[in-house]
Structure 1
Amino acid sequence: MATAGTTPDLADATLDELRIALAPEIAVAAMFDGWTDAALVSAAEMAGVEPSVARLAFKDGAMGMIDAWVASVDEKMEAAFADGRLDNMPIREKIRSLVWFRLEAIMGLEESLRRATAVQAMPQNVPKALKQGWSSADKMWRLAGDTATDYNHYTKRAILGSIYGATLAVFVDDESEGKADTAAFLDRRIEGVMKFEKAKAQLLGKDREHFDFARFLGRLRYPQK
């Protein structure tokens, strides 16, 4: 997490840049103040930014702050794995490495995560929370080298999003040393998905896995009678 000593000069930052720069400090403050204006002001003062300017960057309130926090983790993840270290890993290790990196990035901020989850669960915020999860899952798959454009593109992201969300739910209350319980849970979930995909491939075969996503959406809109 950024600190007052490492925060870059934000005098000429755009509002979008300001959001990403302030988000980690807002997350720290949210442990005590929740995702509130008080947390925003605290982060702005730590970074030497006028609170009025910070408020402009977060006119969308608590969900905007949480969204920026998620985006800041996305950005760190993409920078960390840009060196190609994932290239020669099996797919399950790629996914595990990416998910675990994200968990390490928010280690110590469990209370902030708990409060963020409560905000995301509010009915008016659920669509944006789902969009956040989908976006992060998409970024993980792209870093893992996924190039699927058929229905697998969608199912992979949906499955990974569910794994990540479930793992976060364990992580937030995990008091085991080194988050060992979370690591074991993540491994079990990934292993379960890998076994399912292997069994599905053996049962269906590649030819039967073809799926017309546009046609599927059309059926949802105009169900057959």
Structure 2
Amino acid sequence: MTTPYETTKSQLLDAALMHVAFDGWSEATFQAAVRDADVESAMARAVCPRGAVDLAIAYHNRGDAVMVERLKTEDLSDMKFRDKIAAGVRFRIEAVTDKEAVRRGTTLFALPTHAADGAKLVWGTADHIWTTLGDTSDDVNWYTKRATLSGVYSATVLYWLGDNSPDNAATWDFLDRRIDDVMQIEKMKAHVRDSPTLSKLLAGPNWLLSHIKAPTRMPNIDLPGSWTSPRD
């Protein structure tokens, strides 16, 4: 069930997208969105304390939600797992409704004051892809999978922003090459594990890494008196 909080933020975001191409994710855009959406200023600031920054985050989260839904509904059963991962990145990019909004968002989250927010969003996208595809790792691999995919996703988005090829064909080729690079790393890791000499040399680091565990996930419940952190 959609809450008034979510409804108001969605209204502000829809209104803001009309101005982002001209003013970026700025205070001017936020104030224009407040006027266009006919939302009281106090309510708008309560929903988005940081103004347009919160709307930029909401826009990214909206794209993640579209991607997750598509991953759940598309038939990927005949795909190799590396192709499923590539499909997740592609679905995320295809969920974008406004390329200029992403371009402006990239500029916003490159600023030192918002870099942490940007990194969190990219990590969140990678986490959504792995989780939706059924990743069950609970050790250091939980982190390495998401860190690697975050790099692939970030690089692909930057390439896509400058891609003018028909149907983004050059971007999908670029994505496939990046996924292939990741698979080569996984093959090298497997080779090290299977090598008697190398595995002995790395016994100490491997022992240390074996004690790293994935963060505990709280169950997704919706019961009276329960509380979950807002996604946006």
Give TM-score scaled by structure 2 length. Answer: 0.76
8 Å Cα contact 2:140/2:210 also seen in 1: yes
**Whole-angstrom CA distance in 2 between matches of 1:213 and 1:88:** 35
8 Å Cα contact 2:103/2:161 also seen in 1: yes
Q: Which stretch of structure 1 is more off in the superposition, 78-87 or 182-191?
A: 78-87
**Whole-angstrom CA distance in 2 between matches of 1:28 and 1:137:** 28
Distance 1:93 1:44, change over 3 A: farther
Q: 1:194 aligns with which of 174, 183, 200?
A: 183
Distance 1:80 1:43, change over 3 A: farther
**Whole-angstrom CA distance in 2 between matches of 1:170 and 1:18:** 33
In the TM superposition, what are the counterparts of 1:15-164 in structure 2 within 5 Å?
15-20=5-10, 22-43=12-33, 48-50=37-39, 52=41, 53-83=43-73, 85-106=75-96, 109-164=98-153
Percentage of pairs with the same residue = 33
What is the Cα deviation at residue 135 of structure 1? 1.1
Corresponding letter in the other structure for 2:52: A
Distance 1:105 1:83, change over 3 A: closer
What secondary structure, in the 3-state scheme, does the structure 2 residue paired with 1:179 have? helix
8 Å Cα contact 1:58/1:64 also seen in 2: yes
Corresponding letter in the other structure for 1:129: G
8 Å Cα contact 1:20/1:71 also seen in 2: no
Corresponding letter in the other structure for 1:186: L
What is the Cα deviation at residue 177 of structure 1? 1.2
What is the Cα deviation at residue 55 of structure 1? 3.6
**Whole-angstrom CA distance in 1 between matches of 2:28 and 2:3:** 22
> Cα deviations across residues 43-62 of structure 1 (Å, max 9, x unaligned)?
4566x442523343222123
What secondary structure, in the 3-state scheme, does the structure 2 residue paired with 1:168 have? helix
Distance 1:214 1:145, change over 3 A: closer
Question: How many pairs does the alignment contain?
Answer: 202
Unaligned regions of 5+ residues in structure 2, if any?
Answer: 214-232
What is the Cα deviation at residue 191 of structure 1? 0.9
Corresponding letter in the other structure for 1:198: K
8 Å Cα contact 1:171/1:182 also seen in 2: yes
Corresponding letter in the other structure for 1:26: A
What is the Cα deviation at residue 134 of structure 1? 1.0
8 Å Cα contact 1:26/1:42 also seen in 2: yes
**Whole-angstrom CA distance in 1 between matches of 2:176 and 2:34:** 38
8 Å Cα contact 1:41/1:54 also seen in 2: no
Q: 1:212 aligns with which of 194, 210, 220?
A: 210
What secondary structure, in the 3-state scheme, does the structure 2 residue paired with 1:123 have? coil
